[in-house]
Structure 1
Amino acid sequence: MSTLTTAERDEISRANDSGLQPVVFVHGLWLLSSSWDRWRSLFEDQGFTTIAPGWPDDPGSVEEARRNPEVFAHKMVKQVTDHYLEAIDGLTIAPAVVGHSFGGLIAQKIAGTGASTATVAIDPAPFQGVLPLPLSSLKSASAVLGNPLNFGRAVALTLEEFRFGWANALDEDEAEELWTTYHVAASGVPLFQAATANFNPLTETKVDTKNPARGPLLIVSGEKDNTVPRAITDAVYRLQQKNPGLTEFIEIPNRGHSLTIDSGWRTVADEVLAFLERQTAIG
């Protein structure tokens, strides 16, 4: 049974009708697909077409999400990945895929199936085989992992938790503005899946890093990210670098986990855009 919404099917049809190279944007926890709106406008101005599906059952707006936060509970990594793969299967041209945080993990899972022509993972959540567990990452995840009952819940971040995990590189005014504008509750399950990945041979966070059909991959790391610190992105890069495809790594100076939505988003987007232009027919 399809999990795609009417709006998502309309986006896919629009992309197909354009005949242009599609880019699929994948958001992570605590955001909605609308967090990519500025990126989509930029990429479409540069000759791409874009789609940005939500996670299954995502509300249509931040306001709706805050009225009904429990809808986010129980979402799991495989379920979300399958939703994006269904969307990609509806495209007539193989897309590039860009994901942030858990979206970056999902983007790599998609790449591992050979479904993307090029992939970018921005401050990606760790997958099975990524061993470092920096203290700042553990503290950031403690809002969920600190209570085992959160496995089955939708969990929102307090402003203080958001400042530490996402907005530590920003001033307090911008941190609060982002929290007010973008933040929604998130499923607790993916964080527990990531935390136990290296103890569970059947984990849904497993990524096929060896598939020669993976295609070019860029890992983007924010220098000051507390949620996904450099130790994690370095480990992701080392594992992915063993693939026969091109694997690149860049670090964005003085940026935290909010790097896709804060006032410096364009710096990150331009790096991603340049990579995809080099790796697709646009270039």
Structure 2
Amino acid sequence: MATSRVPVVFIHGLWLHSSSWEPWMDLFTERGFDPIAPLWPGEAPTVAETRRQAENVAGYGIDEITGHYAQVVKSLDAEPVIVGHSFGGLITQKLLSLGLGRAGVAIDPAQIKGVKPLPFSQLRSGFPVLKNPANKKKAVSLTAKQFRYAFGNAIPENESNRLFEEYTIPSPGRPLFEAAFANFSRKSPASVNTANPTRGPLLLISGQKDHTAPDAVTRAAYALHAASPASTDLRQFADRGHSLTVDDGWKGIADYVLEWLSTKGVQGRAGMVD
């Protein structure tokens, strides 16, 4: 009979609660995986609680968040697949480059050090945080209008508003500053060892209408990973924005991730026993 299921660690990015992964976790469970979506440091178990206690998430940076998830990965009984969206995608790349995880999927990932393109839409999406240097130490929330531009530009406005009400939370401003100024810092927390030859396979996914993590940014990260002989793939979705993991088209993205994992020999069940 089947042995233990392969774990999957889902990592969300700024402004979405970990509960936004629930449909993905249900699907991955059906496919034989054992998924979890751990909270970020300071994040409360529910959206409502996190909104009430915004100060608890303030001040955390990329290194602290990566270290938090590294401990989660190391605590598991089996090597997991790591799937991250936005800043979760950046953290996925960092963890994989550190030799953690059997495979990684970075969906519309935040920019890593070495990525040069800086499209206007990305600057505008980050402006609610970057406009005030004091936000580096604060938790910052988006308005529905800001969420519409940064996440929901490729979906109907009523759907964007629904997702805003259901999943958005305050998030620390610090990671955005760290990523935005990564190329000016010798030891940036947004650095990834893209040349690691022994890391697991990596899939980068890009929504080509994404304002927050534009396609040019994901393509530039893909080019950096070409320095490694380890497997790296890129999949672009022409009509998708930054909401692609949570909007009504999420299952098409999730199905592609499952198909890709299968091509890399990663199945939901770890193997067979007598």
TM-score, L = length of structure 1: 0.92
Q: What residue in structure 2 maps to residue 266 of structure 1? A: 251
Deviations 1:70-125 (CA, angstroms, capped at 9, x unpaired): 11110110111111110111112111100000000000000001111111000000
Cα 1:281–1:220 change in 2 (3 A) is closer
Q: What residue in structure 2 maps to residue 253 of structure 1? A: 238
Q: Secondary structure at the match of 1:238?
A: helix
Q: Secondary structure at the match of 2:10?
A: strand
Is 1:32 aligned to residue 17 of structure 2?
yes
CA shift at 1:129, angstroms? 0.4
CA shift at 1:160, angstroms? 0.8
Q: Supply the AA of the counterpart residue of 2:19.
A: S
Equivalent pair of 1:113/1:213 in contact (CA under 8 Å): no
Distance 1:241 1:97 in 2: 20
Q: Supply the AA of the counterpart residue of 1:269.
A: A
Q: Supply the AA of the counterpart residue of 1:117.
A: R
Q: Supply the AA of the counterpart residue of 1:122.
A: I
Is 1:111 aligned to residue 111 of structure 2?
no
Equivalent pair of 1:117/1:280 in contact (CA under 8 Å): no
CA shift at 1:245, angstroms? 1.0
RCO comparison, higher one (Cα < 8 Å, 6+): 2
Equivalent pair of 1:133/1:232 in contact (CA under 8 Å): yes
Deviations 1:145-189 (CA, angstroms, capped at 9, x unpaired): 011111111000011110001000111110100000001111000
Is 1:148 aligned to residue 133 of structure 2?
yes
Q: What residue in structure 2 maps to residue 138 of structure 1? A: 123
Q: What residue in structure 2 maps to residue 61 of structure 1? A: 46
Q: Secondary structure at the match of 2:32?
A: coil
Q: Secondary structure at the match of 1:203?
A: coil
Q: Secondary structure at the match of 2:203?
A: strand
Is 1:166 aligned to residue 114 of structure 2?
no
| Equivalent of residue 97 in structure 1, options 71, 76, 82 | 82
| 1:119-130 equivalence runs, <5 A | 119-130=104-115
CA shift at 1:281, angstroms? 3.9
Distance 2:262 2:13 in 1: 24
CA shift at 1:273, angstroms? 1.1
Distance 2:123 2:250 in 1: 25
Q: Supply the AA of the counterpart residue of 1:157.
A: L
Distance 1:66 1:48 in 2: 31
Distance 1:281 1:28 in 2: 24
Q: Secondary structure at the match of 1:248?
A: strand
Runs of at least 4 residues off by over 4 Å: none
Distance 1:184 1:77 in 2: 18
Q: What residue in structure 1 maps to residue 229 of structure 2? A: 244
Tell me the matched-pair count.
Answer: 266
Is 1:74 aligned to residue 59 of structure 2?
yes
Q: What residue in structure 2 maps to residue 231 of structure 1? A: 216
Higher mean C-alpha deviation, range 112-121 or range 272-281: 272-281
Q: Supply the AA of the counterpart residue of 2:44.
A: P
CA shift at 1:278, angstroms? 2.1
Q: What residue in structure 1 maps to residue 179 of structure 2? A: 194
Q: Supply the AA of the counterpart residue of 1:234.
A: R
Distance 2:153 2:267 in 1: 35
Distance 1:192 1:246 in 2: 30
Q: Secondary structure at the match of 1:221?
A: strand
Q: Secondary structure at the match of 1:89?
A: helix
RMSD: 1.1
Is 1:220 aligned to residue 202 of structure 2?
no
Q: What residue in structure 2 maps to residue 279 of structure 1? A: 264
Unpaired runs of 5+ in structure 2?
269-274
CA shift at 1:54, angstroms? 1.1
Distance 1:56 1:185 in 2: 12
CA shift at 1:67, angstroms? 1.1
TM-score, L = length of structure 2: 0.95
Q: What residue in structure 2 maps to residue 48 of structure 1? A: 33
Distance 2:16 2:265 in 1: 28
Deviations 1:42-62 (CA, angstroms, capped at 9, x unpaired): 011011111111111210100
CA shift at 1:69, angstroms? 1.2
Q: What residue in structure 2 maps to residue 13 of structure 1? A: none
Equivalent pair of 1:132/1:232 in contact (CA under 8 Å): yes
